[in-house]
Structure 1
Amino acid sequence: MAGIRMAEPTGVRDGFARGGGSGELRQSNLTAILRYLRDHGPSSRHDTARGCGLGVSTMTDLVGDLRSRRLVVELDPIRRPGAGRPTRPIALDGEPWAVMGVHVEVDRIHVKGTTVGGTDLWQETATASFTDHHDGAEVLARLVVDQLAHVGEGLQLVAVEIAVPGYVTPDGMAVTSRALGWDGAGVGKAVRAALSDAGLPDVSVGLSSDFHLAGLYAARAQLSDASSTVVAYFGGVTEMGSALVVNGEIFRGAGGGAGDLAHLHVQADGAECWCGRHGCLNSVVRVQELLAHAGLRTPEEAAELVVTDPEGAVKLLADGAAAGDEAVCRALDRAGTALGRAVDDVLGSVNPHAVILGGYVGHLASYLMPALDRQLRARVHEGPYAGTRILVTEEEAPPVTEGAVLAARDACLYDPLGLTTPLR
């Protein structure tokens, strides 16, 4: 789709709208109810109707449809203090419908399956050889189909979301990835064809950048009000990645590349990054650069270590800082200054409610924050920016697979008429 897509439903990017007229309005209203319950938890019909701008009679009809599809369920009645009749809250159900989140790395994929309601079904890591094969998209498609064996009896797979280390075309079908050696690889078409051959032609297939999905998960996990906030995410394993999440949804921009904050220019004489720029944030704060700048490894040794032992590489920095190694502390102070410059620019251009630091950035945050705070001091004293929160997550690696699962579940919530059928 052309143009800026703000708060677009994640994982549903077919390039066309399903239905039309009254059918499209009904779909929109059903989705509004499902999103409200996703974001607010079990709620009364009255609160849900008010939150979605729906009338009582319309609400009754729509809830009946969603109950018949096992997408919502009525809970036991509760009596509110001072109220009349007990109310029966409604909540997300979705247990008959399965989804799959897939995180693609250079030599393996991580897969997690859940129900649309969020019940875990299976989790697996499978080895792969994407860079050695002439058609990595076909390899990935076969791996996805292999996972169908885990979808239990009585469940129907309705959506798959695939996280890739690269850029996805605006139609959500093709991938360009330096890490995988893909240049416009037709991943979406290949996976859809493979699922169709396996007897599942109607499964929704979505593709997203891995850091977009990590940011999506971080925003929803860290903020109780993610559906009404703007969040900037920075994280990574050994290199910096980033995302913007607006109102609980990935902000993709005109061509799918919005939120590429890890490549903001922060240092005139900085090292060269894989993106071709000198002095972008990633080139200054990536683990390889920090190890070399701290004198813990030569540049060549650092480059090898982040590939062979990424967790060990980050631990070297953390241990050195904890021991008060002056060279390590200077390297991390320099990195915190660079990160602060980038965050300062983000605060001025996007004015987010929160900035989330995850992955290795979160792991090292206590050593980065003093310099980051110094860079932000002038900015956060101004009224519009004073309320911005800097949050740190505790995960060792960006939660990409979890984000892919969220996006796959969203696909069903945003297309209930197309992906589910009445069961009673």
Structure 2
Amino acid sequence: MAQRRPAAPAGGGAQAVGHASLRRANLALVLRHLREEGSCSRSDIADATGLHRATVSNLMAELLGRGLVREVGIEHIGAVGRPRRAVALDGSHVGVLGTEINVDYVAVYGTDLAGRVLVERRVGFDAMGMGPDRSLKELGRVAKEALDDLTASGAVPAGIGVAVPGLVDVARGAVSFAPNLGWRDLPLAERLQAEIGDGRAPVMVDNDANLAALAEFTGGVAAGTPDMVYLTGEVGVGGGIIVAGALLRGADGFSGEVGHMPVDPTGSRCGCGRVGCWETKVGLAALVSSATPERAYGLGPAPDPEERVAEIAQGLAAGDPRVMAAVAEVGRWLGLGGSILVNLFNPRAIVLGGYFAKLAERLIPPAQAELERLVIAGPAARCRFLASGLGFGAASRGAASMVVEQVINDPTAIGSAPIASTTNLAGR
């Protein structure tokens, strides 16, 4: 919708604040249009957004000065070939870093605002056993190296997003409770900022499943599906829930803890302290314990989850009956829990991430059969399990996207170039 200038308020200070807020909103509106539509002329932007053409020209001058857009040539329209200067989203000098800390690894994913991937890596690390202090030191070390890589690529870091498997107070950047990490009331953003030092970039924190769901919704196997659920396939199991195209957070921002749905009152004790949670049936630790008990979590150093899954896949390929039975059992429990989610939210797709995606060929058939048997609406629900193509990197990608959204929402935080004269920039 058009962002029109309101009537001038009585107080000069309030007027200045109102004008600055309106300008930020209009700059964000233009950037979002360019991100969605690609290159287009200023007059096209004015027609699409409802902004006055003079306003668009003025906004474009600022965005050019901040390096967030670039001229991409001349377009000719109509019989007489009237020229229009086309512009496109740029931001190649603006870097964003997404990170994830999970039970057995730390991951980073860095891009520039133009979408170029500048750094991507995952480091095996026993965060479950190391405690918050050593875990934050490791996260800080990996993040600093990634920030150096961004800077070496010519991208100044604009922010760091952190994905954590647990309940997160997003406004404070604090982890309220991460059962599988053993963390409570941890001011992660503040602590990580101190580890990184130098005030290099602001830190934001969110739940890993929420961020992975956003990554899937914007660029995954179910991209654009307005009603979907994303499931992390880690030691713990979390869910990101998209309803009508928006992330469902709940009253306090703690929605999506689907791994702690009670499904078996006589089952095993969960990391949260309760008995019979869904993740005790379908989490990676549960599968490893059943398929390769001699390699169960807690019996030695925690390897990268990719290595765990590779061992399971080898067992399946070799026809190991114990491994095959364990995977089939996880598939059935996956379908049972999935049916609860379908009965509650009626999603069109349940996207399987992490190790679920790696073993999807064996997990989805029993899971889909169990889901269809238990969903009250039966075939009318039309919900399918889908394997994510983002693998274990979905949450760190989502964390990077969170920073991108922050930049888009407030372009004035990037650079400090003065607004240039629009005399030669207005185009048509």
Does the 8 A contact of 2:98 with 2:397 survive in 1?
A: yes
Alpha-carbon distance, 1:351 to partner: 2.9
Matched letter for residue 270 of structure 1: G
Per-residue Cα deviation, 1:293-333 (whole angstroms, up to 9, x for no partner): 4xx434x6433379346434323433444455555444333
- 1:252-291 superposed matches below 5 A: 252-291=249-288
Q: Secondary structure at the match of 1:400?
A: helix
Taking the aligned partners of 2:304 and 2:142, their CA distance within structure 1 comes to: 26
Alpha-carbon distance, 1:137 to partner: 5.0
- Range that drifts further, 127-136 or 319-328: 127-136
Normalised TM-score (structure 1): 0.77
Residue 207 of structure 1 corresponds to which residue in structure 2? 205
Aligned length: 397
Q: 1:366 aligns with which of 361, 369, 376?
A: 361
Matched letter for residue 116 of structure 1: L
- Identity score, percent: 29
Cα distance change of structure 1 residues 134 and 192 upon mapping to structure 2, 3 Å threshold: closer
Q: Secondary structure at the match of 1:422?
A: coil
Alpha-carbon distance, 1:31 to partner: 1.9
Taking the aligned partners of 2:186 and 2:113, their CA distance within structure 1 comes to: 29
Q: 1:411 aligns with which of 384, 406, 415?
A: 406
Matched letter for residue 186 of structure 2: A
Per-residue Cα deviation, 1:267-297 (whole angstroms, up to 9, x for no partner): 444332212333322111123333444xx43
Residue 162 of structure 1 corresponds to which residue in structure 2? 162
Structure 1: where are the runs of 5+ without partners?
Answer: 1-18
Does the 8 A contact of 1:98 with 1:158 survive in 2?
A: yes
Does the 8 A contact of 1:245 with 1:251 survive in 2?
A: yes
Taking the aligned partners of 1:306 and 1:371, their CA distance within structure 2 comes to: 32
Alpha-carbon distance, 1:127 to partner: 8.4
Taking the aligned partners of 2:136 and 2:56, their CA distance within structure 1 comes to: 43
Does the 8 A contact of 1:236 with 1:361 survive in 2?
A: yes
Per-residue Cα deviation, 1:340-385 (whole angstroms, up to 9, x for no partner): 23222222322334321122111222222222222343556565x3
Residue 112 of structure 2 corresponds to which residue in structure 1? 115
Does the 8 A contact of 1:158 with 1:420 survive in 2?
A: no
Cα distance change of structure 1 residues 290 and 199 upon mapping to structure 2, 3 Å threshold: closer
Does the 8 A contact of 1:267 with 1:338 survive in 2?
A: no
Residue 7 of structure 1 corresponds to which residue in structure 2? none
Q: Secondary structure at the match of 1:307?
A: coil
Residue 425 of structure 2 corresponds to which residue in structure 1? none
Matched letter for residue 117 of structure 1: A
Does the 8 A contact of 2:288 with 2:295 survive in 1?
A: no
Residue 28 of structure 2 corresponds to which residue in structure 1? 31
Taking the aligned partners of 1:399 and 1:382, their CA distance within structure 2 comes to: 29
Per-residue Cα deviation, 1:80-124 (whole angstroms, up to 9, x for no partner): 799964655432211222222222346764334332222333456
Structure 2: where are the runs of 5+ without partners?
Answer: 1-15, 421-428
Q: Secondary structure at the match of 1:399?
A: helix
Alpha-carbon distance, 1:29 to partner: 2.6
Residue 338 of structure 2 corresponds to which residue in structure 1? 343
Cα distance change of structure 1 residues 268 and 90 upon mapping to structure 2, 3 Å threshold: farther
Cα distance change of structure 1 residues 77 and 184 upon mapping to structure 2, 3 Å threshold: same
What root-mean-square deviation, in Å, do the aligned CA atoms of Structure 1 and Structure 2 show? 3.8
- 1:157-196 superposed matches below 5 A: 157-175=157-175, 176-192=177-193
Normalised TM-score (structure 2): 0.76
Cα distance change of structure 1 residues 373 and 47 upon mapping to structure 2, 3 Å threshold: farther
1:333 aligns with 2:334: no
Cα distance change of structure 1 residues 376 and 147 upon mapping to structure 2, 3 Å threshold: closer
